A = this chain, B = another copy of it.
Amino acid sequence: MEETIRKFKEHLAKMNAYSHAFGVLSYDSETVMPRGGSEHLGMTYAVLSEEMYKLTTSPELKEMVRNILSHGEEVDYITRREAEELREEMERTEKIPMEEYVAYQVAQNDAGNAWRKAKLTNDYALFAPHLEKLLTYSRKFAGYWDPDRAPYDVLLDQYEKGLTMATLDGFFGLLRKELLPLVQAVTAKGPVVDDAFLYKRFSIEKQRRLSDRLMEVMTIDRDHCAIGETEHPFTTSFSKDDVRITTHYHEKAFASSMYSVIHEGGHALYELHIGDDIKYSPLGGGASMSIHESQSRFFENIIGRSEPFLAYILPDIRRFGPRALKDVSAHDFYLAVNKSEPSLIRTEADELTYSFHIMVRYELEKQLIAGTLSVQDLPTAWNRLYKEYLGVDVPSDTEGVLQDSHWSGGAFGYFPSYALGSAYGAQMLKVMERDLPVWELVSKGDLKPIVAWLTERIYQYGCLLKPNELILKACEAPFDPHYYVDYLKTKYAEVYDL
C-alpha cells in the first residue's frame, strides 16, 4: 500500500504540473497575450489537454485509486479523499471521448476570443456560433455523465454537488416573493444621497495605490498574491503559493475597481488559507463555486459595504482620491455605495437587485440547455427578462447578453452560485457575530480575526469537505435562505429609512 500511495502522489504531482501550466497559459492569455497569439495558444492547449486527458484516465491511476479506496482503513484521510476526487474526475472525464475532450478545450479558447471581440464591437453574431457549439458540447457531456437526469441538473452538479433546478426554483421563488416588494419600495423612494462624488476623476495610478491599500487591510499576503488588470475581473490560483486577482480601472468610477478588488480579494483569501497539507493536491482549491462566492461576496458586500468598514477606509480613499471626497461623511459614503437601482450590468449591481441579474441568467441557461430557447433568440429573451425583472431597457448586446465571460467559457450552471453564495455569507455572519465582535473589529480595520474564523471553519479544508459539510461547519445548521432575506431587509430599511 505504501508503494501504491507513493506512486499515486507522484501521479498527482504530474497532474498538478499540467494544471499549473494550463492555469498560467490561461491567465497570461487574459492579461498579457497579444490578440494574435490565440491560434498558437489553441494548438498548445490541444497538446497539453490530450496529455492531461491521458493522465486523468490512465489505467494505472484507475488501479491505484481502486486499490486505495478498497483499503480505506489503512490509508490516511487526505489520501482517501484525493482518491475519491480522482475517481469522480476520472469517471467524468473518461465518459467523454478524448477527441471531444480536446476539441472542447479548443472550442472554449476560440469562444473566449470571439466573445472578447464580439463584446468590443457589440456584435453578437460573432459569438453566436461559438455559443451554439459550447451548448451542444455541454448538453452532450451532461448526457454522457448522467443520461437519466435533466441535462441542466447534471451541469449544476459540476459547480455545487447535489444542487438541482427544484432547489433553485424554490430559492429564487422565495427571493422574488420577499425582495420584489423591497425593490419596489426602494425604487419608489428614490435616491437618498447625491453620489456624484463616486464619479469624479480618480487617476488610475492612484486607484492602483488604493488597491494595494485594500489588499493590505484584507491581510492579503502580496508575496503570494499578484494583482493584474483585465476587462472582466477574476481570481485564479495555481496553488496557495501563487494566487492572482485582477481588476479594471475606470478613471470616473473608482468604486467599481474598489469593489472588484474586495470581491476578488475574498476569493484570494480563501485560496491563500487552504491547509498546507493539501496545497499541491487536487483538494487544494475551494470546495465549490458557491462557497467561493460566499467569500467574495461576504467581503465585498457584508464587510466592504458596511458603514464601519467605510468609516475606517475613507481616510485612505480621501488620501488618494479626488478633492470632492474631502467633505463626504462616512455615512453619506455608505449610503452612496449602497444605492439600489435597477441597472444593466451584473458586476456593477447593488446588493439588493443583484439576485435579479442572476435570475435572468438562470432562467435563460435553463432554457438554452433544455433547447427551448435558441441561441439566435437569446438576445431578445435577455432583453425581455431585464425589462420584466429589473424594469430596464437594454441598449446594446455589449451591455446585455455579451457582458459576462462565463458562457464563453462554457460555464453553464455557474451563475446560480453567485446568488447562493451571497445567501451563504449572510447565514455565516450570524454565527460569526456570536463568536466575534465583528463590527468593532471592522471599524478598526482589523480583519485578521475574521479571516482566522473563516480559515478555521472553511478555508483550511479546501475540498476535503463537501459544500454542505462546510455550511454545517460554518453555520452550525443546514442552509437557510431566510437569513439572507432578513439581512437585506434590515440593511435596506436602514439605508432607505423605510
* Chain A residues near B (Cβ < 8 Å): 13-14, 16-18, 20-21, 24-25, 27-28, 31-37, 39-41, 43-44, 46-48, 51, 204-205, 221-226, 228, 238-239, 241-244, 280
**A47 in contact with B17 (CB, 8 Å):** yes
Knowing A25-B21, A44-B21, say if A36 contacts B205 (CB, 8 Å): no
A146 to B191, CA, bound (A): 80
Option from B14, B21, B36, B224 in Cβ contact (under 8 Å) with A224: B36
A224 to B36, CA, bound (A): 5
- List B contacts of A222 (CB < 8 A): 34
User: Would you mind naming 23 contact pairs between A and B with Cβ atoms under 8 Å apart?
Assistant: A20-B25, A21-B24, A21-B25, A21-B48, A27-B28, A27-B32, A28-B28, A32-B32, A32-B244, A33-B242, A34-B222, A34-B223, A34-B225, A35-B223, A36-B223, A36-B242, A37-B224, A37-B239, A37-B241, A40-B242, A40-B280, A41-B242, A43-B280
**B34 in contact with A224 (CB, 8 Å):** yes
Q: How many copies does the complex hold?
A: 2
- CB-nearest residue of chain B relative to A19? B44
- CB-nearest residue of chain B relative to A28? B24
- List B contacts of A39 (CB < 8 A): 241
Choose among A44, A224, A241 the residue with the greatest number of B CB atoms under 10 Å from its CB.
Answer: A44
A408 to B280, CA, bound (A): 27
A244 to B242, CA, bound (A): 22
- List B contacts of A44 (CB < 8 A): 16-17, 20-21
Given contacts A34-B244, A37-B224, 8 further A-B contacts (CB under 8 A): A14-B47, A17-B43, A18-B47, A20-B44, A21-B21, A37-B238, A40-B280, A43-B280
* Shortest Cβ distance from residue A267 to the other chain B in the assembled complex, whole angstroms: 15
* Shortest Cβ distance from residue A356 to the other chain B in the assembled complex, whole angstroms: 36
**A238 in contact with B31 (CB, 8 Å):** no
A93 to B91, CA, bound (A): 38
**B13 in contact with A43 (CB, 8 Å):** yes
A32 to B17, CA, bound (A): 18
A27 to B224, CA, bound (A): 17
- List B contacts of A46 (CB < 8 A): 17
Option from B25, B223, B244 in Cβ contact (under 8 Å) with A24: B25
Across the A-B interface, give the 5 residue pairs with the lowest CB-CB distance, nearest first: A37-B242, A17-B47, A36-B224, A17-B44, A36-B223
A432 to B35, CA, bound (A): 33
* Shortest Cβ distance from residue A183 to the other chain B in the assembled complex, whole angstroms: 41
